[in-house]
Amino acid sequence: MMTLDESMVDDHPRQQPPGSDSRARTVRLTLRDWARFVLPKGKLLVSIGGKVFLSALEFLRKAILAIPWLVICLIIAMFIGEWIFEGPGMTVSSFSDPGGDRTVSLGQAIADALTLELQRIDQLDTAKNPWGREEEVYSLRFTTPQAYERVGTISVGGSQLPVGELVLALKALLPHWHPRSVITGSIQRSSSGGGLPVRIIVRLEENGRILKHWTNQDALATEEDIQRFVRTVAFEMMWSMGKGKGADSLENFQQYIDGVEKFRRYKDMRADQDFWDAEQHLSTAIAEHPGYVKAHYYLATLYSWRAVREEVNSQLAGEYEQKARRKYEILTSLQQSDETQALGHFGLGLLAYRHYRREQRINPRQPETASLSDPTLEEADRHFTAAIDLDSTLYFARTGRARVYEAQGCIEQAIREFQQARQSAKDQSSQSWIDEQIEALKAPPRRPLSTSASHPLGVG
C-alpha cells in the first residue's frame, strides 16, 4: 500500500513576498489620513446639503402660496403701465343680471355685443387708413373682464373677490393719464323665469362719475330688439364722447359710418349692391351736411375704385373718374385744413396713376417704361408731392410717388420713397405690402409687383 508523504499534505505557511508589509502599511496609513479628512468634511457637506434642500422646499412652498398675490402684483403693474403709457381707452364691464340663468350670461353677451359695435364704429371713423385691416385702425383701446377672468378669484378677509371685476372697479375709481371711460349696466327682468322680455340700463362713467345713461322705454322681447338697442346705444355713446367729428348730427354720423362699411365691403367683395348702398349712404350724409369732409373723401374713393373695376368699359370708367375728381377737388380748396387738402391731392394723384395703368393695359404696345415727361405721370407726381408737403405723415402719398418713379424706370428713387413710407406706416398690413414692393424692386430679374386689392396702389 502506498503511503503519503507528509510533505504532500502538510499546510506550510506561505512566504510573503518581499516588501508586502510596507505596501499594506502604506495603504492603511493613506486610508486613515483620508478618513480623518473626508469624514468631518462629509458630515459638513451633508449638513449643508440638507439645509439647502429643506430651504428650497420651504421656498417652493411659499412661492406656490404666493402665486395669487404675484398675479395681483403683475396686474397692478400692468394697470400702472396702462395708466402711464396707454392712450384713450374704454372698459366694458359685464352687465349685472340678478334674475338671469347663471349658466347662460345675458349680461356678458350684451357687454360683448356692445364692445363689438363700439369697435366697429371706432375703426370705421377714420380717413387716415381706409385700406388697412380693420383690427389695425382703432383709435380707442377696449378692455373687457375676460382679460382678467382667467386669474379667477382671490380671498380677502374670508370673502372671494373676482379679480376681473376688482381691476375694473379700480380702473373706474382711479384717475387716468388719458381719458378713460367705463361702461357698466344692469338687466331687469319682468318675469322670474330668467327669459325675455328685459329692460336694460347702460351707464357711461369716467373717474367714478356717471356721465350719461341709457335705457329702453319698452321691454325688449326678442334678440333683434336687443341688437337694435345695443347699436343705438353704441352710436349715441360714441357721439357723446366726441367721435364723428365733421358730422352735424347723430343721424348724419350714422349715415357716414354705414357708407364707409359698405365701401370697404365693396372694395373687398366687389358686389354691385354694396357699391349702390355705399353711394346712397354717403350721398345722403353729404346732402344732410355738404361740409362733411370725410363723407366727400370716401365717396370720391368709392368712385375711384369703381373706375378701376370698370376699366374694360373706357367710357364708364372715365365717368367714374370724373365723379371722383370733382369730390377730391372739393377737399383741395384752400379753406380746408392741410390734412384735408393732403387727402384730396393724394386722391387726385391716385386717379392719374390709375388712369396711366389702365391705358397701359388697354394698349399693350406701349413701352413698359414710361417717358419722364409723360403728362399723366407728371400730374400724378405733382399731386403726390403736394400731399407730402402738406402732411408728411401721409405715407400713402410716398408709396404713390414711388410707383410713379417705378413706372418711369427710376428704380433707386422708387426704393428710397418706399423706405421713407415704411418709416411712417403704422399698421402691419401696409408695412408688409411696402416690404414686398421693396424686395420686388431689388430682385433681379424683376417680377410683377403684388396686386393685392387691400392696398390703394395695388391695381396691377
The domain ranges of the chain are 88-240, 250-442
Contact 230, 217 (CB under 8 A): no
For domain 250-442, the CATH architecture is Alpha Horseshoe (1.25)
Cell triple for 435: 416690404
The C-alpha atoms of residue 325 and residue 328 are separated, in whole angstroms, by: 5
Residue 141: per-residue pLDDT: 65
| Cβ neighbourhood burial of 255 (10 Å; 0-12, 13-18, 19+) | buried
The C-alpha atoms of residue 232 and residue 424 are separated, in whole angstroms, by: 36
- Please name the fold of domain 88-240: Rossmann fold (3.40.50)
Per 3-state DSSP, the chain is made up of helix, strand and coil in percentages (nearest 5) of: 60, 10, 30
Give backbone dihedrals phi and psi of 36, rounded to 5 degrees, phi first. -60, -30
Cell triple for 155: 380671498
Residue 212, strand partner residues: 204
Mean pLDDT, consecutive 10-residue stretches, the chain (460 aa), reads 43 51 66 61 65 75 73 65 59 77 71 89 74 51 57 56 59 58 83 72 81 86 90 91 86 94 91 96 95 93 93 90 95 90 94 91 80 90 95 91 93 94 84 91 65 46
Nearest by Cα to 107 from 18, 226, 241: 226
Cβ-proximal residues to 206 (8 Å cutoff; 6+ apart), any chain: 179, 180, 181, 182
Contact 396, 431 (CB under 8 A): no
Under DSSP, the state recorded for 204 is: E
Cβ-proximal residues to 261 (8 Å cutoff; 6+ apart), any chain: 120, 124
| Cβ neighbourhood burial of 166 (10 Å; 0-12, 13-18, 19+) | middle
- Is the fold of 88-240 the same as that of 250-442? no
The C-alpha atoms of residue 106 and residue 198 are separated, in whole angstroms, by: 10
Cell triple for 314: 373706357
Cell triple for 265: 365691403
Contact 323, 303 (CB under 8 A): yes
Q: How far is CA 168 from CA 213, 247, 368, in A?
A: 18, 32, 60
| Helices and strands (DSSP H and E) totals, the chain | 15, 7
Under DSSP, the state recorded for 203 is: E
Place of cell 340700463: 201
Residue 451: per-residue pLDDT: 45
Residue 1: per-residue pLDDT: 43
DSSP per-residue letters across 36-48: HHHHHHHHHHHHH
Cell triple for 75: 396686474
Which runs of E-coded beta strand occur in 3-151?
89-92, 141-143
Q: How far is CA 72 from CA 177, 360, 415, in A?
A: 22, 63, 49
Question: How would you classify residue 414: left for phi > 0, otherwise alpha for psi between -120 and 50, otherwise beta?
Answer: alpha
Under DSSP, the state recorded for 220 is: B
Residue 258: per-residue pLDDT: 94
Residue 162 DSSP SS3: strand
The C-alpha atoms of residue 391 and residue 167 are separated, in whole angstroms, by: 40
Q: To which H or E segment does residue 257 belong?
A: helix 250-269
Amino acid in the structure at residue 281: H
pTM, rounded to two decimals: 0.71
Please state the length of the chain.
Answer: 460
Nearest by Cα to 257 from 281, 241, 273: 281
Place of cell 366687389: 270
The C-alpha atoms of residue 375 and residue 373 are separated, in whole angstroms, by: 6
Contact 441, 429 (CB under 8 A): no
Note if the bond before 98 is cis, omega within 30 degrees. Answer: no
Nearest by Cα to 279 from 303, 250, 252, 309: 303
